[in-house]
Structure 1
Amino acid sequence: MKDQILSAIRQRLQARGLDAYIAYTPSNVFYATGFQSYFLMQWWRMQGTVLAVIPADESVEVGMMVGDFEAKPAQRVSGIEDVRAYRLWPEIRDAEAVQEPLGSGESEMPRPAQFDEGEQDEIVRGLLGDRGLLGARIGTDLRYMLLDSHRRFSALAPEAEWVDFTGDMYELRRIKYPFEVERLRRATELSEAGMRFAVENLAPGMSATDVRHRYVMGVARAAMEDPRYQDYSDQWILPAVGAGVGIGVDSERGAGLQDGDLIKFDCGTTVGGYRGDGGRTFAYGKVKPTAGRLFGVLQEAHDRACAEIRPGVEVGEIFRIAQDHITKNGYPRFRRGHYGHSLGIDTFHEEPPYVSEGDRTIIESGMVLAIETPAYTTDAGAIMIEDLVHVLPGGIERLHRLPHGLTVIS
Structure 2
Amino acid sequence: MTARAGGATTPVRAQILDDIRRRCQERGVDAYLAYTPSNVLYTSGFQSYFLSEWPWRMLGTVLVLVPADPTLEPAIVISDFEAEQAKRVSGIADVRPFRVWVELRSVADLQVAGAQDADPPRPAQFSEDEQDSVLRSALADRGLLGARIGTDMRYVLQDTVRRIAGFAPDLHLVDMTEDLYELRSIKHDFEIEALRRATELSEAGITFAVQDAQPGMTALDMRHRYALGVIQTAMGSHRYAGYSDHWVLPAVGATTAIGVDSERGNGLAPGDLVKFDCGVTVDGYRSDGGRTFSFREIRPAAQRLYRVLLEAHELARDRLRPGRPVREVFEAAQSHIQLNGFPRFTRGHYGHSVGLDTFHEEPPFLSRTEERLIEPGMVFAVETPAYSSDTGAIMIEDLVVITTTGHEVLHRLPHELAVMG
Same fold, judged at TM 0.5 (above)? yes
Q: State how 1:140-159 maps to structure 2 within 5 Å.
A: 140-159=151-170
Partner of 2:95: 83
Say if 2:377 is the partner of 1:369: no
Equivalent residue for 1:346?
357
**Cα distance in structure 2, aligned partners of 1:343 and 1:153:** 31
> Are 2:79 and 1:67 aligned?
yes
Deviation at 1:101, TM superposition (A): 2.1
Matched position secondary structure for 1:132:
coil
Q: Is the 8 A contact 1:208 1:241 kept in 2?
A: yes
* SS state at 1:239 partner: strand
Q: Which amino acid aligns with 1:10?
A: R
Task: Please say if 1:327 is aligned against 2:357.
Answer: no
**Offset, 1:202:** 0.7
1:93 aligns with 2:105: yes
Structure 2's unaligned 5+ residue stretches are 1-11
> Which residue of 2 is the match for residue 315 of structure 1?
326
Instruction: Report SS of the residue matched to 1:91.
Output: coil
In the alignment, which of 209, 222, 232 is matched to residue 233 of structure 2?
222
Hey, what does 1:269 align to over in structure 2?
280
Q: CA deviation at 1:107?
A: 4.8
Q: Deviations over 1:76-129 (max 9, x none)?
A: 0001111010111111111222122225x9253221111000000001110000
Q: Is the 8 A contact 1:268 1:277 kept in 2?
A: yes
Amino acid across the alignment from 1:96: A
Partner in structure 1 of residue 184 of structure 2:
173
TM-superposed deviation, 1:361: 1.4
The SS at the match of 2:393 is strand
**Does the residue aligned with 2:402 lie in a helix, a strand or coil?**
strand
TM-score (norm 1): 0.98
Counting aligned pairs with the same residue, the percent is 59
Decide whether the 8 Å contact of 1:244 with 1:254 is kept in 2.
no
Residue 236 in 1 paired to residue 274 in 2?
no
For the Cα contact (< 8 Å) 1:244–1:252, is it kept in 2? no
Q: TM-score, normalised by structure 2?
A: 0.96
Counterpart position of 1:300: 311
- The equivalent residue for 2:5 is none
In structure 2, C-alpha distance between the alignment counterparts of 1:398 and 1:340, rounded to whole Å: 14
Partner deviation per Cα, 1:189-226 (whole Å, 9 max, x = no partner) = 00000000000111000110000000000000110111
Aligned length: 409
Q: Are 1:314 and 1:361, in contact at CA under 8 Å, matched by a contact in 2?
A: yes
Residues in 2 aligned to 1:183 and 1:262: alpha-carbon distance in whole angstroms: 31
Match of 2:172 among 156, 161, 164: 161
Amino acid at match of 2:402: V
User: In the alignment, what sits opposite 1:51?
Assistant: 63
Give 1:247 shift.
1.1
Aligned ranges 1:248-259 → 2 under 5 Å: 248-259=259-270
Match of 1:388 among 374, 399, 408: 399
Distance in 1 between the 2:358 and 2:397 partners?
19
Aligned to 1:16: 27
Q: Is the 8 A contact 2:216 2:267 kept in 1?
A: yes
Question: What's 1:2 paired with?
Answer: 13
Distance 1:183 1:172 in 2: 18
Cα deviations by residue, 1:343-382 (Å, 9 ceiling, x for unpaired): 1000100000111111111110110000000011121110
Distance 2:273 2:18 in 1: 48
The alignment status of 1:208 with 2:189, answered yes or no, reads: no
Give the residue type in structure 2 aligned to 1:102.
G
Q: Distance in 1 between matches of 2:41 and 2:117?
A: 40
Partner of 2:198: 187
Partners of 2:63 and 2:398 lie apart in 1 by 34
Aligned to 1:290: 301
Whole-Å separation in 1 of the counterparts to 2:124 and 2:255: 44
Q: What is the one-letter code of the residue matched to 2:101?
A: W
One-letter amino acid matched to 1:83: V
Task: Answer yes or no: is the 8 Å Cα contact 1:262–1:382 preserved in 2.
Answer: yes
Match of 2:8 in 1: none
